[in-house]
């Protein structure tokens, strides 16, 4: 796990050390264990290393010589989980290191830009082919690892985080108003366009081919199979799930450093813990976040019971109202590609606890709901309108509150989601699969996985997601609908598997969801915070200040769901704008930052 960045100039002039130094400095938190660079032929590449596999010889860039004597150079972020198998297939004599990122370089020499099709893992990779004078950048099919780029008057530039491109002076931090409206209404933004006007995402599964500082080709690997469910019995599916899940978790534990996991007490993380228990001789170190506030469900008691049953070493991390006011500025600063997901708060503190415990790798349950159909919105999307059916995310967070200066319809904030829904709905999938595919296109990579990446990498900790292994995704997505949803309950097959292997997890209990009491916390200081948020430049450009103050006052008196979520979203955006647009360092508290 690392930070990577690079440039290819239009005029063939090799980037100078100052620009590469700035990229290294901006990404050092992602890779505190070392750094490396390459600069020649109009191309500059850098990597900041978090050493996980091959601690002694795995430094980057990695090099391979082509038949004509020219070099191929690779920098990478992520983990290639099938690197052991690839080394055997390609021939161990080819390799100079034990790094999991060296096989992709040899695969490129053999297959060209299509080489990611042979990889199993999470990755953002860049290969410079000196013979062809091409730069090839690739991202894994489910978008687990981030990668961003900009095309400027000087050439093509890429980085693991948008803030690196800005801090290196390669692009100005101007907001993209359409993406900001998506953020305010959806809590994330869609497609390739980020919240920054001239910075774009390399989409999940995408490979860009760059020549002379300009994109000349695009290749795409689909994350999900484009086929309807495969008929199979419950017993057949359970047997196959056990095989695929065991293999995925075993691969995701490949590391030369200590690892642990985040345990919420829900179905997904409990399943990961159950499988880790099977595969590990030593106790698994599990971390759980909880809240002292009695207005929301606290998962610690359930997680504590499960951890005791499996003999895990269990660390409980309490997130308090004080943490909300002091940690939020730093958490918002870490989310340079903004996702206003309140789960960023406990994720940030859990990451800090994992770092303090000496761990460099954490396994999590992200992806279980998306692949095994756990969300209630999937079931609603399947129903006819007459019976309560409705599209996912049909209403925006700020919709109808009278806060925005302009009606959001003029910004078409739902266009990105609608386009994905249309494509999924015409691909021959079931209605349930179409809903899952819609979430996997945007919500999963641009909210959940962005949150996980930024929170963990802020502390130099790698996050791994065994449910999002490519083989697991193929298996789960093509399950019959009745093995995903039954008796009004999602994740039926996964619940059944967990009931057989760890019944103490109570997998058939009704899903309570993960909630952070942000509404209750904001209510206690709404009279103070509301006016501060209202006069922030980023908020004032889009919102009526008086209406913003009224919104916060309504949270103080009512705390209804929509108003509380809207107030939280505006607080987050105000802090994000302060850091990433106005270039102000986060202060010690929300109040100090906004003041």
Per-position pLDDT tens, the chain of length 595: 699 999 999 999 999 999 999 999 999 999 999 999 999 999 999 999 999 998 888 899 999 988 788 899 999 999 999 999 999 999 999 999 999 999 999 999 999 999 999 999 999 999 999 999 999 999 999 999 999 999 999 999 999 999 999 999 999 999 999 999 999 999 999 999 999 999 999 999 999 999 999 999 999 999 999 888 999 999 999 999 999 999 999 999 999 999 999 999 999 999 999 999 999 999 999 999 999 766 677 889 999 999 999 999 999 999 999 999 999 999 999 999 999 999 999 999 999 999 999 999 999 999 999 999 999 999 887 775 555 667 788 889 999 999 999 865 556 899 999 999 999 988 889 999 999 999 999 999 999 999 999 999 999 999 999 999 999 999 999 999 999 999 989 999 999 999 999 999 999 987 665 578 999 999 999 999 999 999 999 999 999 999 999 999 999 887 668 999 999 999 999 999 999 999 999 999 999 999 9
The string over 565-586, giving b where at least 16 C-beta atoms fall within 10 Å of a residue's C-beta and e elsewhere, is: bbbbbbbbbbbbbbbbbeeeeb
Tokens of 10: 């239009």
Tokens 């309504």 appear where? 554
Q: Which pLDDT score, from 0 to 100, does residue 1 have?
A: 65
pLDDT value of residue 386: 53
Q: Are the C-beta atoms of residues 133 and 112 closer than 8 Å to each other? A: no
C-alpha pair distances (Å), 542 with each of 75, 178, 205, 535: 40, 11, 34, 11
Which residues of the chain are in CATH 3.60.20.10 domains? 2-220
**Phi, psi at residue 201, to the nearest 5°?**
-85, 140
Q: Are the beta carbons of 552 and 530 closer than 8 angstroms?
A: yes
Domain boundaries for CATH 3.40.50.620 within the chain: 234-393+443-505
Which among 442, 6, 540 has a CA at the least distance from the CA of 193? 442
* CATH of range 234-393+443-505; options 3.40.50.10490, 3.30.930.10, 3.40.50.620, 1.10.1060.10: 3.40.50.620
Q: What is the pLDDT of residue 426?
A: 85
pLDDT of residue 384: 57
Q: What is the per-residue pLDDT for 23?
A: 98
Residue 284 is predicted with a pLDDT of 98
Beta strands in 97-205 (DSSP E): 121-129, 134-139, 148-151, 155-159, 200-201
Q: Which residues contact 173 (CB under 8 A, 6 or more apart)?
A: 166, 196, 580, 581, 583
**2-220 domain in CATH 3.40.50.150?**
no
Number of Cβ within a 10 Å radius of residue 253: 19
């Amino acid at each position: 796990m690392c930070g990577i960045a690079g440039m290819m100039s239009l005029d063939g002039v090799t980037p100078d050390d100052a620009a590469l130094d700035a990229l290294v400095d901006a990404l050092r938190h992602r890779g505190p264990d070392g750094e490396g660079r390459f600069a020649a032929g109009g191309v500059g590449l850098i990597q900041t290393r978090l050493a996980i596999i091959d601690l002694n010889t795995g430094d980057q860039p990695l090099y391979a010589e082509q038949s004509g004597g020219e070099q191929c150079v690779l920098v990478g972020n992520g983990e290639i989980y099938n690197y052991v198998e690839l080394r055997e297939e390609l021939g161990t004599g080819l390799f100079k290191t034990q790094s999991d990122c060296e096989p992709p370089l040899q695969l490129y020499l053999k297959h060209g830009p299509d080489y990611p099709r042979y990889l199993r893992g999470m990755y953002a990779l860049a290969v410079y082919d000196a013979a062809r004078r091409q730069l090839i950048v690739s991202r894994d099919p489910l978008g687990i690892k981030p990668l961003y780029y900009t095309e400027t008057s000087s050439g093509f530039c890429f980085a693991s985080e948008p803030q690196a491109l800005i801090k290196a002076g390669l692009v100005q931090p101007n907001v993209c108003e359409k993406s900001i409206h998506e953020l305010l209404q959806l809590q994330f933004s869609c497609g390739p366009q980020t919240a920054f006007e001239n910075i774009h995402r390399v989409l999940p599964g995408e490979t860009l081919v760059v020549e002379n500082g300009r994109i000349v080709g695009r290749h795409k690997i689909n994350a999900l199979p484009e086929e309807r469910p495969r008929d199979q019995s419950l017993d057949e599916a359970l047997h196959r799930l056990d095989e695929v899940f065991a293999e995925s978790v075993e691969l995701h534990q490949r590391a030369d450093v200590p690892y642990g996991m985040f345990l919420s007490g829900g179905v997904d993380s409990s399943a990961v813990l159950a499988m880790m228990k099977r595969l590990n001789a030593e106790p698994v170190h599990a971390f759980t976040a909880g809240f002292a506030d009695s207005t929301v469900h606290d998962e610690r008691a359930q997680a504590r019971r499960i951890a005791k049953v499996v003999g895990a070493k269990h660390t409980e991390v309490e997130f308090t109202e004080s943490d909300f006011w002091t940690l939020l500025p730093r958490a918002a600063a870490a989310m340079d590609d903004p996702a206003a997901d309140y789960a960023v708060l406990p994720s940030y503190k859990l990451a800090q606890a994992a770092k303090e415990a000496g761990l460099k790798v954490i396994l999590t349950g992200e992806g279980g709901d998306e692949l095994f159909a756990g969300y209630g919105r999937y079931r609603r999307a399947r129903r006819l309108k007459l019976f309560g059916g409705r599209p996912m995310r049909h209403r925006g967070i700020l919709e109808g509150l009278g806060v925005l200066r302009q009606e959001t319809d003029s910004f078409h904030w739902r266009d990105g989601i609608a386009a994905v829904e249309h494509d999924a709905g015409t691909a021959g999938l079931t209605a349930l699969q179409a809903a899952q595919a819609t979430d996997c296109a945007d919500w999963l990579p641009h909210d959940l996985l962005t949150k996980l990446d930024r929170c963990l990498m802020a502390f130099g900790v790698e996050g791994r997601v065994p449910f999002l292994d490519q083989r697991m995704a193929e298996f789960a997505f093509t399950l019959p609908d009745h093995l995903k949803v039954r008796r009004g309950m999602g994740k039926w097959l996964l619940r059944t598997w967990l009931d057989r292997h760890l019944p103490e997890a109570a997998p058939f209990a009704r899903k309570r969801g993960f909630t952070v009491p942000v509404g209750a916390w904001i209510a206690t200081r709404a009279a103070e915070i509301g006016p501060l948020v209202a006069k922030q430049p980023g908020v004032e450009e889009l919102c009526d200040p008086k209406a913003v103050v009224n919104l916060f006052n309504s949270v103080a008196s009512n705390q209804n769901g929509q108003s509380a979520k809207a107030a939280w979203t505006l607080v987050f955006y105000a802090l994000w704008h302060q850091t990433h647009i106005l270039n102000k360092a986060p202060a010690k508290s929300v109040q100090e930052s906004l003041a």
